[in-house]
Structure 1
Amino acid sequence: MTTRTLAAIALTTALGSLGFAQIGTPPAPVMAMMGGAGQPPMTGTGAMPGVAGMQMMHSMTDRTFLTMMIPHHQSAIQMSRAILKSTRDPQINTWATQIIADQQREITQMQGLLKEYGGPETGMTPGMLDMAGMVPAGPRSANPDVAYVQAMIPHHGMAVMMATHLLMQSTRPVMQNLARNIIAAQTNEIHAFQQYLNKVR
């Protein structure tokens, strides 16, 4: 898989999650790949049209998924550890604690699986890995608990989209099960987060 293919997967994943969550302006790493804030998207050989980007997503391999999902999980853990230092909301505490436990367990599993492929996907730059783990930008509440939930929804949405593509394409039962588990757990949490926001808005 080429560097351009990996970049397209990262970009399409990020943009897809932004659209899914309807959270406004893409974050700086995405804007940079698109030509910068206030600038037209890249053109020429580096351009990745939306349709082409989605086609690249359809070529995601098990190895690419693992390489990108590990930092994505790590960023969720960092967010959850941060909110645990300040929250007094029992529900937020429960969610953050569970996310840390579940995603750390999956990271350990994915690291073991990745060894079978000889390590992370070759040709993937630090910027691509940063994008895989980024938290999409957008309006956030001044209340840290609410802001955590608002950030976690699109973050989970990105994971669900990546896992759905993996589930459609992988031929390995262990990877299919991993994708199914991520989709099930994180869509349930997205729904719970939305119900929480319905009450506090």
Structure 2
Amino acid sequence: MKSKSLLLSTLTALTLAATPALAQMDHSRHGQPATTAAPVALGMNDMGGLAGLSGKAFDRAYLSMMIAHHQGAVDMARAVQGRVKDAQVKSWVANVIRDQTREISDMNTWLKPLGGVNTGMRDMMASGMKGMVTLIKTAKNPDVAFVEGMLPHHASALDMANLALQRSNDPRVLKLSRDIIKAQADEMYAYRQWLTKRG
């Protein structure tokens, strides 16, 4: 039980470290216009401050980050593919690879008229994802490790997508963000139910 708690704590910390711009958001001002709070020192650059951007600049930064975030999920899924035993977990692994690979392709297409990928934003996010993938690869129980790892991973995607719903004006970005929130919140609920049943 201690090793499970340690794994989940480590994955959560890695996810938070991978998204320092999100940590800058001032949640005390819900219901008021979004603002950027003072930077939080997490040992990484703030990637230009995603929470301080809007319009096309936001869209480019957000999509670049989300591509790397999605790629992290795909890499986590591929790290356990063929190793997981539970039928439900196998289905989740396949769905992550299928759905997030498709969304990565869409986002790359949308980025072309915006100036292409913002490599700084993408690379910072990608560096944070590496630690999560390593933990999944080395886990003794890949079924549990994948499900526990996807909880904080999805949680950070929801934070990013929620910010996009506040800042973007692009109908495609807005729809993608809504779809991410709906799908991944449902998956988080299912993951938690699965873990609860296992005791």
80 and 50 in structure 1: CA distance in 2 versus 1, 3 angstrom threshold: same
Residues 74, 133 of structure 1: 8 Å contact kept: no
Structure 1 equivalent of residue 32 of structure 2: none
Match of 1:175 in 2: 173
TM-score between the two structures when normalised by the length of structure 1:
0.69
Q: Which runs of 5+ in 2 are unaligned?
A: 1-7, 21-35, 41-48
* Distance in 2 (alpha carbons) for counterparts of 1:133 and 1:115: 26
Matches of 1:22 and 1:125 in 2, distance apart? 24
Q: 1:26 touches 1:136 (CA, 8 Å); kept in 2?
A: no
Change beyond 3 A, Cα 1:133–1:70: farther
> Number of paired residues?
164
| CA deviation string 1:22-81 (max 9, x = no partner) | 6688349949x9xxxxxxxxxxxxxxx96445x852536011111101011111111112
Does residue 197 (structure 1) correspond to residue 195 (structure 2)? The answer is: yes
Residues 105-144 of structure 1 show CA distances to partners (whole Å, capped at 9, x for unaligned) of: 1001000001111111265473454236763999x97422
Question: Structure 2 matches for 1:79-90, cutoff 5 A?
Answer: 79-90=76-87
Q: How does 1:32-43 map to 2 (within 5 A)?
A: none
2:89 to 78, 84, 92: 92
2:51: which partner in 1?
Answer: 57
Residue matched to 2:63: 66
Aligned 1:5-24 pairs, distance under 5 A: none
Give the corresponding residue for 2:46: none
Alignment-derived partner of residue 17 in structure 1 = none
Give the conservation status (yes or no) of the 8 Å contact 1:159–1:182.
yes
Aligned residue type for 1:189: E
Matched residues, percent identical? Answer: 36
Name structure 1 gaps, 5 residues minimum: 1-20, 34-48
Q: Give TM-score scaled by structure 2 length.
A: 0.69
**Corresponding residue for residue 149 of structure 2:** 151
Q: Secondary structure at the match of 1:26?
A: helix
- Counterparts of 1:26 and 1:123, CA distance in 2: 21
Give per-residue Cα distances to partners, 1:5-26, cap 9 Å, x unaligned.
Answer: xxxxxxxxxxxxxxxx866883
Give the whole-Å Cα distance in 1 for the aligned partners of 2:166 and 2:15: 30
One-letter code aligned to 1:80: A
Shift of 1:87: 1.3
> Residues 124 and 180 from structure 1, CA distance in 2 versus in 1: closer, same or farther, beyond 3 angstroms?
closer
Question: More helix by proportion, 1 or 2?
Answer: 2
- State the AA in 2 paired with 1:26: A
Deviation at 1:169, TM superposition (A): 0.9
